[in-house]
Amino acid sequence: MKKVLIVDDQVEVRELVEVTLSMHGYHILHAEDGTTAFEIVKAEKPDLTIMDVMMPNGINGLEATRLIKTNDETKHCKVIMLTARGQEPDIEEGYAAGADDYFVKPFSPLQLIRKVEEFLA
């Protein structure tokens, strides 16, 4: 079973993404901030991380993505940014941090599941 880590400080967003993905048989992990996300990625080695950018408590999603993508143990983990920050400079910054894809909130659950399935096929 493929593991997906959902990282967002808003419980409602985590739950929406979980409901969307759980219908497709993925094992879902949760984190509410970048620091916790990086710890979970190191410990659990998820196949995919869906990462918000703006989060409290230390490092944000961009920095967490940089940490994931520059660590030899975790760099294989795919990261999809899922954020309200949708301006072109924001998107460029997400890719520069190492994101494999970038979705802007509000998002289509159908498009997200298609992208997840593409990455985890």
pTM above 0.85, yes or no: yes
Q: Which amino acid is at 36?
A: T
Q: What is the CATH number of the domain that holds 9?
A: 3.40.50.2300
pLDDT tens profile 56-74? 878 999 999 999 999 999 9
pLDDT tens profile 78-103? 999 999 988 999 999 999 999 999 99
- Reduced to 3 states (helix: H, G, I; strand: E, B; else coil), residue 79 is strand
What's the total number of domains in the chain? 1
Q: Which amino acid is at 15?
A: E
Are 31 and 43 within 8 A, CB to CB? no
Residue 86 domain boundaries: 3-120
pLDDT tens profile 4-51? 999 999 999 999 999 988 888 899 999 999 999 999 999 999 999 999
